[in-house]
Amino acid sequence: MRTAICLLRYFVFVNLFIIQASFVSGQGSIKNNIKFIDNFFENASPLIWDIKGDSIIKVGLLPDYESETPNRQTDHWYFKLVADKGTHVKIIFSKLLANFSKGRLSKRWWNFENSISCHISYDQKTWVPIKTTSLPGNELLLEFNMEGESVFIARLPPYTVSDLNVLKERIRCNELVKIYNIGATVEKRPLEIIQLGHENAPYSVLIRARAHPWEPGGNWVVEGIINEFLKQKSEKWLNNFCIFIMPMANKDGVARGMTRFNLNGKDLWRNWEPDPDPVLCPENYALEEFIKTLLKKGIKPSLAIDIHNDDYGEIHLALQKDKDSRYIKNMTLLREKMSEHSCYSTGLKYAWLTEGQSLSDFNFGFADGLLYKYGIDAVIYELNANWIQDLGKMPSNEDWMKIGENLNYAFYDYFNSRNK
């Protein structure tokens, strides 16, 4: 009798286990196929997240600081998702803040007419673009199938402070390269200038990238410029121009995964009037002091470019009342040469180089500050972060590096044409 009771209990236990296993495996499952989000690594974005079911997770993006501050944005996301392989993941991005400038909401900031770019990677090396879907209330939906047990998700292919350090070590000993330390960020990260070529060349270009942390396109362009310049070792380039590059202006913001500001809440695109504050805005202060050092040596940059990402792709000029000014004529010529060399090897024209140029209404941003304070021809060069019509796809880091490679050719043609 006791044996029979034990056998009965055993069969009941086994059947209950089988039923429970079947329930968890998908028939009315209460199991979460999504495990967790990891954002505790370099350049990962601050965020909040909630699992809403087997395969749905809601991600709330956080602003750098005050949610109603001028120029607010939540354009950066970068995190690691851990979930069961094969899970059909649905990520809903919420708390998307539109850019707010000069007391008014920007009507163009989130380009919901086309897909907002997003990328995934299983190794942090190869990044695959995935289209998003806009939802009511400034939300975005991202859907894909997990091909591994973890995946990295980013707005754009990341470029970190560590990546820059690797680049510097690779080129440091090249005879055509000089690297200057010019100051430090709020958190005392070193700021540098990378010089390509000889400073006594007749023309010089000053390039700044990554004033806004969410915009890695500028760093990929800079790496392309450097690679091609050192690869070609072109005598005609060396005898024509020198390049000074501030490769990553907002290192603190990049390291911390911020969107737009430095750690003191200052926008490095702006804050050029009057002189940058060495405490509140040490990144701009360091660059301006470097420019003053060049001027004392008799070197006035012939051209200055501040490289950014946006949702459209434009060349922003300093505000000009005289539409026939020397500056406008020079910048029109520059844009023509950039368009001619927009894709040097394939003949394609990148849309962000041909979508037009606009007069900036932001007094004493980077372009205005350098033009009106020092007489340096300066522009803001925006790289479209979303769908590129002429390419029929979203831009990749390889596309941006190719743009950088070709800028060397555009600079040479631009300076030669100015002499004619």
Q: How far apart are the first and last CA of the chain?
A: 110
* Strands 88-94, 56-61: pairing kind: parallel
Highest mean pLDDT among 99-103, 110-114, 157-161: 157-161
Which of 211-225, 238-252, 298-312 is predicted least confidently?
Answer: 298-312
Of 294, 271, 145, which is closest to residue 211 (Cα–Cα)?
A: 271
pLDDT tens digits for 273-304?
Answer: 778 899 999 999 999 999 999 999 999 999 99
Q: What is the mean pLDDT of the chain?
A: 83
Q: How far apart are CA 408 and CA 207, in angstroms?
A: 12
When pLDDT is cut at 50, 70 and 90, the band that residue 310 belongs to is confident
What does CATH list as the number for 161-418?
3.40.630.10
Specify the CATH number for 34-154; select among 2.60.40.3080, 1.10.760.10, 3.40.50.2000, 2.60.40.3120: 2.60.40.3120
The predicted pLDDT at position 28 comes to 41
Q: How far apart are CA 344 and CA 409, in angstroms?
A: 9
- C-beta separation of 254 from 187 below 8 A: no
What DSSP character marks residue 211? S
Tokens, residue 346: 């394939």
Q: How far apart are CA 364 and CA 380, in angstroms?
A: 12
Q: How far apart are CA 367 and CA 11, in angstroms?
A: 79
Q: How far apart are CA 243 and CA 398, in angstroms?
A: 21
When pLDDT is cut at 50, 70 and 90, the band that residue 99 belongs to is low
| Residues 101-126, mean pLDDT to the nearest whole number | 69
Burial of 166 (0-12, 13-18, 19+ CB in 10 A): exposed
Q: How far apart are CA 279 and CA 264, in angstroms?
A: 9
Domain ranges in the chain? Answer: 34-154, 161-418
pLDDT tens digits for 61-91?
Answer: 888 887 766 667 788 999 999 999 999 999 9
Q: Which helix (H) or strand (E) holds 178?
A: strand 177-184
CA distances from 394 to 224, 328, 359 (A): 18, 31, 26
The predicted pLDDT at position 129 comes to 93
